[in-house]
Structure formats: C-alpha cells, structure tokens
Structure 1
Amino acid sequence: MSDPQRPRASLRTAVVWDVLEDALDRRVKATGQGALDVLDTGGGSGNFAVPVARLGHRVTVVDPSPNALFALERRAAEAGVADRVRGVQGDIHGLFDVVERGGYDAVLCHGVLEYVEDPAEGVRHAVEALRPSGALSLLAAGLGGAVLARALAGHFTEARNALTDPAGRWGEGDPVPRRFTAEQLTEAVEAAGVEVGAVHGVRVFADLVPGVLVDTEPGALDALLKLEAAAAELPAFRSVATQLHVLGEKRG
C-alpha cells in the first residue's frame, strides 16, 4: 500500500493511512460503488483528503481555517484531483450548517477532538454525518504518550501533572488542550452508535527516536515504520502512543 506522506513524515501517518485505505476498500466492496463520498472534518490542507481523492473518491473537507482551505485547493490541483476535492469553511460543532447529515460513506475526524469544547458532541456529529454502516476514522492525542515524553525529557512534575489532570495537560504552556485514553475514545464512539473495529497506537516510538538517526542510518526509516505497524494494535503499546486511532462502523 502507498503512504500519502513518504518518506520522513510517513512516521506520523503510515499506520493510519494503511488502516484507512483498507477500510475504504471494504466500503467500496460492501456498497458496490466505484467511488465513495468521504467527509474529512478538520482536514486542513489535505494530508489525507488528497490521497483519498487519488483513490478515486469524492472528498469534502470542513475546516475553520481559510488559509488551510486555500492550501488544500492548491494541493488538490497539483495532484490532479481538484474535481474530487471540495473545501468548506466550518467546524465540527456547526457541521450540519455546511454539510449534509447522513450523506457520507466514511468520515475522518483527525486531530479535532483535542481542540473542541465538547468532544462527545464532536463524535456524535461525525457519526451523524455517516450513512448506515459507514466507516468512522477517529484520531486524537493520547495521554500516555505525553506522560512518557515529559518523563523522558526529565520533566517529571509535568509528567505527573499530565497523568492527573482531567484534560491530560502537563501545564499552562501545554499546546494541546486535551488528551485521551483509548478507553475514553472507544466509550465516546460506542455511545454515538459506532461498533468499534480496531484501536491503534500511532507514533508509539517515532517521537522518542532522535530524528538524526532516522534520517542518516541506512534502512532505519523502513525498520521504524515496520516496528510502528507491529506495535500499533498491541494494548501495552497503545497506552504510550502519542496518538490513538479508532476505526469503527456506524450501526444499522
């Protein structure tokens, strides 16, 4: 399978992309459609939307940033998929002011829940945008990865703060407003009417490995990608991942 962001940035997307590509392929076979309607809420400049469009699907990106949507338009044009990518300004809470409820075969909600006031409502809206049996791809910041990273950097008090803070923040200077455990995300998804198919740890090792090692050591990048893929679904490693990915299917 191809990865949308090789080589260096693939460490941030490889596991999610492989899982997502498989999920879209299954939806194509289940629906008998050659092309799916995909919604990417918070999709920004198209890190996933453009590769999804390259697979032949129609993608609507909802994002609050005009600059990101302008970059999306340019990126889609450069990739030759401008006719299959549509950008709309909006956010997850006001989602149905700009897109159709129940109009999509798959919804991507990546890097959104960390920044919204009501994550549960955000999940509900993402699910409500799906057609019956549609696929949900949810990616959010993981608590365990932040705790481990602060501890390994020698910031032990900040690590403890993240571990005990209700939002998973390590202090006032923390740029991430909220982090989650795998249990919190799966509970939110299931409560919104989705059957969870898999939970993956993303960037289990990538953020802890010195970049110079990956960039200069022959074969290191591919070896690290394989290690990430092997650890992604193991619960012991999910608990220390920088991000958590939940894949599920809307019930009925």
Structure 2
Amino acid sequence: MSDLRPRAALRTAVVWEVLQDALELRVKATGRQALDVLDTGGGSGNFAVPLARLGHRVTVVDPSPNALFALERRAAEADVAERVQGVQGDAHGLLDVARRGGYDIVLCHGVLEYVDDPAEGVRNAVAALRPGGVLSLLAAGLGGAVLARALAGHFAEAHQALTDPNGRWGSGDPVPRRFTAEQLTGLVEQAGLRVGAVHGVRVFSDLVPGVLVDTEPGALDALLKLEAAAAELAAFHSVATQLHVLGEAAESETG
C-alpha cells in the first residue's frame, strides 16, 4: 500500500497485493462495500488499520493487552476507531470471542508458529468464515531459515533447522515452528478450504544488505518488483522467509 514505510513495504507488499485482490473479489461477490474482517493475532493493527481505512469492519483478536492498547491508539490516530474492535483472546479459544461464520475474510498471520496445535488454529479460523469467505494464512517458511543460517556461515544450525521436526535451528531460535508450503496447504485443505494461491514472501529482501536498498537509486522499487515476480513461482517457495496461502470457502448451495 502507498502509505507503508519503505522497509515495511518489503515485508508486506506481496501479502497486501494478494489480500486487496481477494477483498475486491468478495466486495463484488457480496455486493457489500464494507466487509467483515477478522484478524487473529493482529497485534497493534499493521493490517487491521489499513483495512479499516479502506472502509471494512475489522475485529482484532490478540492475547496481548499492550498490543490491543496500541491498536486502539493507532486506530484513533487514523480516524477509523469506529471500524476497528480489539478483543483479547487467542487462536485456541477464537470462537469464544469471535462469531462463528461471521466474517468475509479471516487473517491468520504469524500465528501458527506459536500455537500448540496448528491444525486446530486453522480449523477455528475456517469456522469463523462465511460461505465463500477467504482465509489469508501467513507463516514462517522452513527453507528461508535454512538458507539464512547457511549464508551467515552457521552451517550446523542450518542443518539442524533442516532436520528438526519444527524447523528450529537451536535452543536460541525465537521461532517455535516453521512450515513448508506443502504443510500449510495441507492444513488449509484438511480444514475444508480450497487453496486459491500460494506465495513466497520475502524471498530476497531478508538476504539483501540493507545498505543497498537504502542507498542505491531505484533499488527499493526494483526489489519490490522482483519479490512480486518471484512470489507466485513454486521454485522460490522453498527459500522464502514466509509463506502465504489463500484458502477459499465454498459458497452456500443457495448462493
């Protein structure tokens, strides 16, 4: 989106592009300009506030009171407080605080890495969707971590991540779990959705020295275009820092 900071744009541009296309399709399909969006694990509103600025109603579920306080302040500063609701909760008890079958779009970004049961987390997110709704799932990619450790010269850690059941490179790894594209699409399909698209996120941006992006004229735009071009190519999914899966619920039989 145009109001994203340059550095943030590198991390989110691919996801925003896919998400905005999905939103436009749902607006056309439902005939409603304002959609109901659930952002589970949405924190301080990196996605929720821009979505509300587009006119959609967004409910953010997050376990952190501090994050929800920051969300409230951020929404107020963006003049969208009436379209953003923060609720304390987590993926395990999602349906205790969110409406079952009540949302056109559900975001599950950076959540599955931290839950005890990723399959349950996906099932709960899917249960919150309306017929024809869309799940936006973003999680840490295994291959990206392996590549990053190897390029940094930490070969034993790269091998550990490659062979560890959860994709962790050691006890100091801050990420509890990583996924392959096949694992994520499997979770989505097992929860009853059709996989609409898979994208590699941050294929190159985490590997490129920041000084090149900050000082070389046109480097940021060129890198953004490169990320966008590589995102849909399956060959790059195995080395992406994050993986984005779009899951689509079936329409109701009457609609």
| Category of TM-score, reference length = shorter chain | over 0.9
Deviation at 1:5, TM superposition (A): 2.2
Equivalent residues of 1:41, 1:110 under 8 A apart: yes
1:42–1:3 CA distance, 2 compared to 1 (3 A): farther
| Aligned-partner SS, 1:120 | helix
Q: Does 1:192 align with 2:191?
A: yes
Residue identity matched to 1:153: A
Residue identity matched to 2:45: G
Alignment RMSD: 0.8
Runs of at least 5 residues in structure 1 that lack an aligned partner in the other structure: none
Give the match for residue 229 of structure 1. Answer: 228
Q: How does 1:66-145 map to 2 (within 5 A)?
A: 66-145=65-144
Runs of 4+ in structure 1 deviating by more than 4 angstroms, as ranges, are none
| Aligned-partner SS, 2:60 | strand
Give the match for residue 210 of structure 1. Answer: 209
Deviation at 1:68, TM superposition (A): 0.4
Equivalent residues of 1:3, 1:14 under 8 A apart: no
Distance across 1 between alignment mates of 2:130 and 2:7: 35
Residue identity matched to 1:18: E
Deviation at 1:8, TM superposition (A): 1.6
The percentage of counterpart residues that share the same residue type is: 84
Residue identity matched to 1:214: V
Distance across 1 between alignment mates of 2:98 and 2:137: 18
Runs of at least 5 residues in structure 2 that lack an aligned partner in the other structure: none
Deviation at 1:133, TM superposition (A): 0.9
Distance across 1 between alignment mates of 2:76 and 2:41: 19
| Aligned-partner SS, 1:33 | coil
Equivalent residues of 1:42, 1:111 under 8 A apart: yes
1:226–1:187 CA distance, 2 compared to 1 (3 A): same
Give the match for residue 18 of structure 2. Answer: 19
Equivalent residues of 1:3, 1:18 under 8 A apart: no
Deviation at 1:9, TM superposition (A): 1.2
Residue identity matched to 1:228: E
Give the match for residue 165 of structure 1. Answer: 164
Distance across 1 between alignment mates of 2:6 and 2:171: 34
Give the match for residue 36 of structure 1. Answer: 35
Distance across 2 between alignment mates of 1:11 and 1:146: 17
Q: Once the two structures are superposed, what CA deviation does each residue of 1:112-135 show, in whole Å capped at 9, x if it has no partner?
A: 000000000000000000001101
Q: Which deviates further from its counterpart, 147-156 or 2-11?
A: 2-11
